Amino acid sequence: MSERQLSTVDEAAPRRAGAFFDMDNTLLSASSGRLYLRYLREIGYVSWHKWVYISAQTLGYFLGLTDFPRLMSRLMQHTVGTGADEAWRLSRDWFDTMLRHYIAPGAAERIDWHRERGHHVAIVSAATQFAVQPVAQAFGLHKAYLATQLEIVDGRFTGRIIEPACYGAGKVLLAGEYAQAHGLDLGECYFYSDSHHDLPLLEAVGHPVAVNPNTRLRRAAERRRWPVMYFY
């Protein structure tokens, strides 16, 4: 769903609790970006020339020269040149063939725990809509997700993203807008993430939870006495 296409609620109505979940290495036991590139290579979709470009762009990400949303925007433009319809077809095939096998064992259990308490559950991920939507559907969340939206004009990728990207400060902004639109109180919301890149949103909610944390997040969680969980 587009981050700007949000429902509205009665401002006077009492706000309720929600649970936001990061996707990569949280709901999934791996990075969707890496899995997608592996899938494209396995099915012979990526030429050697494109693979060299992908490798260079990925190296730039690891060196801190670009962020994850912009990396994925460039890669989607170069690997799925025929446009959005082809990207959605690949997305469905990729999920059925590979991605569903990386759903973290503990993720569904924790989502059910929140549902039993009447909490609104949504995915908030820096990944693109092509990765997040099939995962949201697998958990029965339908359109309850936020993702980095790739700009599509006349069915084709422009190579740009719809700002703000769902990453860092942008993730906080979009989650705040989503909470407002769905009658959620961020102070009563949970957020589950594996990465220190999500510290801004973890600090913005009332119930931050480190899940399968990387080293920097684990240290931050220890300092702040946040709970730590493992979904796989």
Residue 24 among the catalytic residues:
yes
For residue 52, what pLDDT is reported?
77
For residue 191, what pLDDT is reported?
98
For residue 3, what pLDDT is reported?
40
Q: Which range of residues forms the domain containing residue 208? A: 18-229
What is the per-residue burial (b if ≥16 Cβ within 10 Å, else e) of 95-108? beebbeebbbebbe
Within 10 Å of residue 45's Cβ, how many Cβ atoms? 14
pLDDT tens sequence for the chain (232 residues): 444 444 444 555 577 999 999 999 999 999 998 898 889 889 988 777 777 777 777 777 667 777 766 676 666 666 555 688 988 999 999 999 999 999 999 999 999 999 999 999 999 999 999 999 999 999 999 999 999 998 888 898 887 889 999 999 999 999 999 999 999 999 999 999 999 999 999 999 999 999 999 999 999 999 999 999 999 9
For residue 145, what pLDDT is reported?
98
Does residue 8 belong to any structural domain of this protein?
Answer: no
Does residue 82 belong to any structural domain of this protein?
Answer: yes
Helix (H, G, I), strand (E, B) or coil at 159: strand
Query: What is the domain-level CATH number for residue 221?
Result: 3.40.50.1000
Does residue 66 belong to any structural domain of this protein?
Answer: yes
Contact between 181 and 199 under an 8 Å Cβ cutoff? The reply is no
Helix, strand, coil shares of the chain as percentages rounded to 5?
50, 20, 30
Contact between 75 and 54 under an 8 Å Cβ cutoff? The reply is yes
For the chain, the domain total comes to 1
Does residue 192 belong to any structural domain of this protein?
Answer: yes
Residue 194 among the catalytic residues:
no
Does residue 222 belong to any structural domain of this protein?
Answer: yes
Does residue 147 belong to any structural domain of this protein?
Answer: yes
Given CA atoms 26, 30, 58, 43 in this order, what sign does their dihedral have? negative
Does residue 10 belong to any structural domain of this protein?
Answer: no
Q: For residue 193, what are the β-bridge partners?
A: 210
| CA–CA separation, 150 and 159 (whole Å) | 7
For residue 1, what pLDDT is reported?
45
Catalytic residue among 22, 67, 185, 198: 22
Catalytic residue among 24, 93, 112, 194: 24
Does residue 9 belong to any structural domain of this protein?
Answer: no
For residue 72, what pLDDT is reported?
65
